[in-house]
Structure formats: C-alpha cells, structure tokens
Structure 1
C-alpha cells in the first residue's frame, strides 16, 4: 500500500511521486547534489531573458528554492527588528490577534468602575501591524491578474516589498527613537513615525506571505512556520536519511533560513540600529526581486505561463 504524505499537496510532492513511482529509494552516488542546489538551478539565455514571453512565463515552483529560502530569511530578519523594539511580530499575526482579544477581555475584568478601559500602546502597535499586514496581503491579489507564478509578478511584488521596507527605514530614522527595548512595558518606539515604520514592515510581510503561498511549495507562506514544523514532524520520511527527500529537506531549509535571518537581523541592530538594518533589508529584497527573473520554467514549458 502506498504511503500518503500528510498535509497539502505541494509542488515538490508531485515531483517526488512522479520520480519515485516505483516506491524504491534513490541510491546515493557521487553525482548526487544537495537538495538546495539540485532544485534551484538558475536559468540564463541572453537571447530570451529580456523578452516579454520570459517575463510573463511561470517559474517552476520546485526550482524556486533559493528565492523562497531568501523570503524565509527576510521573515526572521524583519521580525527581529520589530520584536527587539516593541515586542510585536510583523509577520506572525496569530500573536497580535490574541493580544487584541486580551485587550478586549480586559474591558470586562474586575469590578465595575475599576476596570482598565485604556488602549495600551502595545495593543495599538499590534492593531497597526495586523491592519497593515492585511493591506499588504490584499495588494498580493494583483498577482492573480498578472499570473501569480509569473516572473513579472514575483519580481514586481518583491520590489514593492523592498519599497515598503525602505519606507519603514526612513520612518524609523526620522523618528529619532532607539532600536532596543529592555522591557515590554517600555517599548523603544512610541511616536507616530514608528507606528508608520511598523505599518510598512507589516505590509511588506503580508505581501510576501500571499506571494509565497501562491507558489505552493513546502515553504508555504514563508512567514509562519508553525505549519511547516508540524508537517515536518509528521512526515513519514523524516528519518529516511539515506536519500534526499525534497518535501522534507525544503521544510528544514525554510526553518533554518528564518533562524539565520533573525540572528543576522539582531546582530545588525546592535551594530547599526534599526534604520540601517531596514536599509540593508531593502537591499536584500531588491536582490531577491532580480533573482526571480532567473528561476527556470518547468521542464518542457519554458516561457509558457500556466494559469492558476
């Protein structure tokens, strides 16, 4: 009886099912490459790279490992900035949603006349992040018209993320406030411009999330990895260490990329502060935008866009 991989049917699973139809493990040989390199070869042909057909053509999700890993890196990178300053996650909206629920419940806590009816600054920052995240996600619907897997949209959408990140950098710089908060009750960011910075950071993550989801790979949204962790632990091939398992290995790559992004982000904050770190993040996003233009199409479907 065939083993069914739990979770949604991602692009990598379809490829693995076709390649391993006999159910036998692939032997390890000297020609075997790592999962990241084997599924992320860049494509370049000077005669067609600047053509409309190439720009509007769809990328192969299985060959999108490197830019999607870079997306996961940016999740850790951006969240390290917001959490260090105000203890709010710009990408992880579950926490912000629960925080707002607790703020509402606080209105009914305690005897009448002695209840805390104030809207705390932490709750205001969480609400700002949630609303602007939704706004950024809504912008992602542009891709449904252009082709959500087309190079044109993946590059343009990532450039929009870069612009949002640059706007956040400018707002944080002009605010004149610090970058590191020592206590949840005393955030480093409190003025209006820092709320603007939180908003642009969250919008960039919302847009990244919907774009990552549309590619439909093991990286899922590239921003919330709780599902990735659960699917990794439930993967029946988790301990098949004698062969490459794309569905498993890509999850591991995404988790590690986010961890490294958070580490690098915090290291840069300590060295140059939040505005400079956001500026570097903007540069990273520009590189990812260019990167998308060189991701290959599916075998046999070059420069042919498949509607989703």
Structure 2
C-alpha cells in the first residue's frame, strides 16, 4: 500500500476561525492588511504638528531645520558666500540635508522591501523607527552630551560638532514622514513641505466648496495650521522650560502614539 500523503497544515489553519488561530498567525494577518487611507490621513496631519514643533525648537537652539530643506539650502549657500552668522552654521544645515536625503532613500527602500506603503506593517515599522530616532536624539540632549539649554550659554564663536548628532537623527526620521505620505497616496499632506502645500491649497479651484465636498483642501488647510501651531508651541515650550529636550520628548510621544495607532486603525475595505 502506498504511503499516505502528508497533509500541509498551513492551508488548514486558514479554515479555522480567526479567534482559534495562533496569536502569531493572527498578528501576521493583521500586519499584512492594507490600512484605510481615509483614517490613515489623521496620523500624517498630526505629523505636521510634530514637524513644526521640531523645527521651531531646533532652529531656536542650533540655527537649522530638520524638515524644511529649502531653508537649509539657503543657509548652506550663505555659508559658502561667507555670510552665515553662526560659526559653521552651514555644516549643521548641510548635515540636515544629507541625512534627510539618506532617510528618504532608506525609508523608500524599506517600504519596497516590506511590501508596500499601504500595508499596516510598513507604516507600523516606519513610525516605530522614527520614534526610536527621536528618543535617541532627546536622550543625547537630556543626558548633557549636547547642550540643550535655551537660550544657549555656549560661546557663539565656538562650534560644538556634537550638535550634529541630534540634527542628523531628527533629519533622518523626518524623511520617513513624507515617504509615508507618498506610500499611502496622501501627497496632499507631505508633512514637511509647506510651500507646495500652500500652493496646492490656494490654487485649488474648489477651495470654496463646502467642508464635506473637498477633503483634500480640508487636509491641506489643517496641515498648514498645525505646522504653524507646532512651531509656536516649540518656541513657547523652549522659553518656558529653558531647554530643548521637552519638545523632543513631546514629539517622541506623538510618534509613539501614531505607531500604536497603526495597529488599531481599521483595514481598507
């Protein structure tokens, strides 16, 4: 008599009700789902506040941005012509541009490797990585490795190259936000580019439509206002606490909340 065929148990698992499947199998299924982009736009809009908060704080402390690379490009150009008011200020801006560019490359390749920008696992791991980078940057300043006092008591004529560490980390993670917005198909909320956002908002032929009839316009308007509010809050928090790191811990909390949110948001229909 021929040997009995061995049955592959994996197809049989699919026949079992979701509640009876192993946790690892249920988690894998959940992470493999595509997220609902309508609700998924909310975390990206929250990232606009985080962008304003980070840039408003870092510019006050170190004279550079971590998200808005247009300003950094101008700072590098001014440094090249000998008109930068901060010693080696161009180096901070150049570091930010370089790390942001590398971040775009890494996050885009990561999305492709994981399986696509709309998958739950893609956005989850992307924001988890962003959270880790913000936490590390905040820790570097919190522990005193880099002076985070505001206003700074450093000699304005002396450049502390250790300041490039938090700038590099924060610029790298900022690239993850705009990569996520592209991957989710929500380019109207780039999270880091205000100029393009304002242009698209004002040039929208349906800008005066009722709220329920122009969702993209609504997202752009709220994104702009939250970026502005975040920058204002960054200045207020730095002035009230006399330090840079409280704003960064706030950003880390926002990113961590968004990371957990991706596990709970409903899947695409």
Q: TM-score, normalised by structure 1?
A: 0.70
Q: After the TM superposition, which of the residue ranges 286-295 and 264-273 deviates more from structure 2?
A: 264-273
Counterpart of 2:251 (choices 281, 291, 298) is 281
Matches within 5 A, 1:1-308: 47=19, 50-106=26-82, 120-140=87-107, 141-146=109-114, 147-173=116-142, 174-175=144-145, 177-181=147-151, 186=156, 190-241=159-210, 243-272=212-241, 273-299=243-269
Q: Secondary structure in 1 aligned to 2:264?
A: coil
Question: Per-residue deviation at 1:286?
Answer: 0.7
Rounded Cα–Cα distance in structure 2 between residues aligned with 1:65 and 1:209: 12
Give 1:190 deviation, angstroms. Answer: 4.0
Report the Cα distance in structure 2 between the residues aligned to 1:83 and 1:205, rounded to whole angstroms: 15
Distance 1:235 1:84, change over 3 A: same
Aligned mates of 2:91, 2:146 — CA distance in 1: 20
Q: What SS does the corresponding residue of 2:213 show, helix, strand or coil? A: coil
**1:266 positional shift:** 2.3
Contact 1:238 1:248 in 2 (8 A): yes
Q: Deviations over 1:157-212 (max 9, x none)?
A: 11111111111112223235244358xx949x942332111111111112222122
Structure 2 unaligned residues grouped into runs of 5+: 1-17
- Give the aligned length: 241
* Maintained 8 Å contact 1:218/1:251: no
Structure 2: how far apart are the matches of 1:120 and 1:200? 21
* Residue ranges of structure 1 left out of the alignment (5+ in a row): 1-45, 107-115, 300-308
What displacement does 1:242 show?
6.8
Deviation at 1:218, TM superposition (A): 4.7
Contact 1:75–1:91 under 8 Å retained in 2: yes
Seen in structure 2, the aligned counterparts of structure 1 residues 171 and 193 have a Cα distance that, compared at 3 Å, is farther
| Higher helix proportion | 2
The structure 1 segments of at least 4 consecutive aligned residues displaced by more than 6 Å after TM superposition are none
Contact 1:205 1:223 in 2 (8 A): yes
Q: Take 2:185 and 2:52, find their aligned partners in 1: how far apart are those partners?
A: 20
Q: Shift of the alpha carbon at 1:105?
A: 4.2
What TM-score results when the alignment is normalised by the length of structure 2? 0.80
Aligned partner of residue 252 in structure 2, secondary structure? helix
Question: Aligned equivalents of 2:189 and 2:160: distance in 1?
Answer: 35
